[in-house]
Amino acid sequence: VMRKMVEITKRQLLVAAVVCALFACGHAAIRGLNPQLAAHYSGTGGKFTCIDQSKAIDFSQVNDNYCDCYDGSDEPGTSACHNGRFYCANRGHEPSLLSASFVDDGVCDCCDGSDELSGCTNKCLEKSAEARQALRSKAEQYQRSLAKKAEQIQSAQSWKASWPSRVGTIDTEIEAQKAAVQAAEAEKERAQAEENERLRIANEEAQRQAEEAQKQAEEERKLQEQQQQQQADATPSATAGDAQQAGSEQAQDTQAVPHEETPEELGRRIASQWTHDPEAAAVPAGEHEPGHEDDIDHGEEEFPEGEEPEHGAYDEQQPEEDPNSPVAEAQRKLQEEQQKLQELEKEKRNIERYSHPAFDFGPNNMFLAFAGRCFQDMSTRWTYEACFFETATQSEGHYKANLVRLGNWRGFTDGYSLAIFDNGDFCGAINQPRQLRIRLVCGAEERLYDASEPHTCVYDAYLSTPLACTEEEHTQVKTHLEQLEQLEREVLAEIAGASTAGAKKDEL
C-alpha cells in the first residue's frame, strides 16, 4: 500500500511539473515551491495565509529563513521550519519532495541541485536514464509474469474441467495400477528367488573348492613329512652337534624367510569369505609351534609387486548389488509402478477435496494452481511451511523439530492479496490460537520469504507469485516510463534550442 501511495505521489508531482512547465507557472521565483500548492502563494493584497489557516503574514516573509507558520508553509525554500518540504523540480527526471532539514546543508540531494545555492551540477538526465532502464526491466518482468499467470490459469481451468470425466475413470485406472504393482512385486520376488538360488550354488561350489584345496594341502603335508622322515633315516651318522647346528641354522632360515600362505590356509580363508564365518579361516591348534607368531595369518597379506588384487577382492562384506542385475531392474520397475499408483490416489483425493463448494479459488479459479502445493521459507533457524487450502506450520531447523501448527486454511481477503491461516495450536501467552497471514506480491518466481512473528503467536510472510500480478500495475509501469521518456525529449529539445540560440548570438 505504501509503495502504491509513493508511486501515486510521484505521478502527481510529475503531472504538476509538466503542467507548470507547459503553462509557465507565475511563482517560479519562489524557491522550493510545490506547483500543487501554487494557489496559496498568489500574494493577493501583499499577504500570505498559512496553509493551515493559523495566521496571515506579509508576503515578504515567505522564504525569509524564519519559520512563522506552524505547518512550515511560509518557508518552502529554506531549512527554517523542521516540518517544511522542499520541492525538487528535477527537470528531465522525476520531481520529488525533500525534508527542509536537507536544504542548504552542503549535500546535493536534488538531481538538479536546486536544494543548494551553489556547488551542484544538474544530473537529472543521468538519473532519468537509470530510472527508465529500471522501469523497462520492471515492465519486462511484468510481461513475463503475466504470461506465466495466464499459463497457470489455463492449466487450473483445464484440470477442473476434467474432473467430471476423471471421476468416472480414475477408479478403474487405480485398480488397473494396483494390478500392475502386484505384477511388479511378483516379478521382483521371482528375480530375487533366482538370484538367491544362483548365490546358493556359487556358495556351494566355493565350499567344495575350499574343501578340495584343504584336502590337497593335507595330502601334501603328509607327503612332505614322509620325505623328511626318509631323509632323517638315510643319515643316521650325523652327530648330535651337527644336528643341533642344523636345527639352529634351520630356525634362523625360518625367521629370515617371510611366511608364505600354505594351500591349506588359502582354502580356509576362501571358505571363510564365502560362508562369512571368520572361524573357518582359523588354523587348527597345534599346527604352529609357540614363538612362531610370524606363521599366523593376521588377516593382512603381502603380494609381489604388480600382483596386488583389486580392492575388495577378498572383502568379507557382501558385494554391492549390480545396478543392471535382474533384481535391481525389477526393483526399479516396482518403484515406478508404486509411484504411478500414489499419483492416481492423490489425484482422486484432490478431486474429491477441491470439488467442495466451500473453496474459493479466486477470479477464473486461478488459485486452483496452488491446490496440493506447499511453499517453504528456510532462511532462518525456523522453517515456515504453508500448504494452501490445507495447513501451515513452523518448525526448528530442516528436520521439523518442535513442530507447531500455525493455522488451518481459512481463505483469501483484501481482494485476494492476503491469505489467512487461523485456529492453529493454542498459544498460552495470548490465550488464543496461533494464526498466519501471507501477503501475495507480484513476482516471476514463486517463493515464500520474510516469514516472521511481529506479534506474539501472530505470524506474517510474503509469497511472490505471478498470480498476484495485474494488468493495471503493468499499465502503470508503462505509463510511468512513457512520461519519463517524454520529459527527456522535451529537455533535450530545450537544450538543442538553447545551443542554437547561443550559436546565433555568437554570430551576431
> CA-to-CA distance for 299 and 293, rounded, in angstroms?
13
* Phi, psi (rounded to 5 degrees) for 319: -65, 150
Residue pair 470/442 in contact by the 8 Å Cβ criterion: yes
CB atoms < 10 A from the CB of 269, how many? 20
Q: Kindly state the average pLDDT of the residues 298-314.
A: 46
Q: What are phi and psi of 178, to 5 degrees?
A: -60, -40
Three-state SS string across 149-190, please?
A: HHHHHHHHHHHHHHHHHHHHHHHHHHHHHHHHHHHHHHHHHH
The rounded distance, in Å, linking the Cα atoms of 488 and 124 is 9
Q: Which amino acid is at 77?
A: G
pLDDT band for position 411 (50/70/90)?
very high
pLDDT digits (tens, 9 = 90+) for 268-297: 666 566 555 555 555 444 444 444 444 444
Q: Distance between CA atoms of 483 and 132, rounded to whole angstroms?
A: 10
* Distance (Å, whole) CA 156 – CA 161: 9
Identity of the residue numbered 376: Q
The bridge status of strand 56-58 relative to strand 47-49 is: antiparallel
Asked whether the CA dihedral 70, 75, 79, 83 is positive or negative, the reply is: positive
Average pLDDT of span 29-46? 92
Q: How many CB atoms lie within 10 A of CB 176?
A: 11
Measured CA to CA in angstroms, residue 289 lies from 283, 284, 294 at distances of 12, 12, 11
In whole numbers, what is the pLDDT of the chain averaged over residues?
A: 83
Q: How far apart are CA 457 and CA 428, in angstroms?
A: 9
Instruction: Write down the residue that cell numbers 527537470 correspond to.
Output: 91
Average pLDDT over residues 223-249: 69
Residue type (1 letter), 312: G
Assign 62 a pLDDT band (cuts: 50, 70, 90). Answer: very high
Q: Of 280 and 132, which is predicted with more confidence?
A: 132
On the question of pLDDT at 22 being above 60, the answer is: no
- Which residue from 364, 365, 369 is spatially nearest to 148, judged by alpha carbons? 369
pLDDT at position 398 is: 75
Is pLDDT above 90 for 308? Answer: no
Q: Which three cell numbers stand for residue 19?
A: 503542467
Cβ pair 99, 76 in contact under 8 A: no
**All cell numbers assigned to 406:** 500455525
pLDDT in tens, 449-508: 999 999 999 999 999 999 999 999 999 999 999 999 998 888 888 888 877 766 555 554
Residue 6 CA neighbour count, 13 Å, CB half? 6
By DSSP bridging, strand 458-465 and strand 447-455 are: antiparallel
CB 80 within 8 A of CB 63: no
The whole-angstrom separation of Cα 223 and Cα 331 is: 54
Model-wide pTM > 0.85:
no
CA separation for the pair 275, 290 (Å, rounded):
29
Q: How many CA atoms lie within 13 A of 265 on its CB side?
A: 14
pLDDT band at 264 (very low <50, low <70, confident <90, very high): low
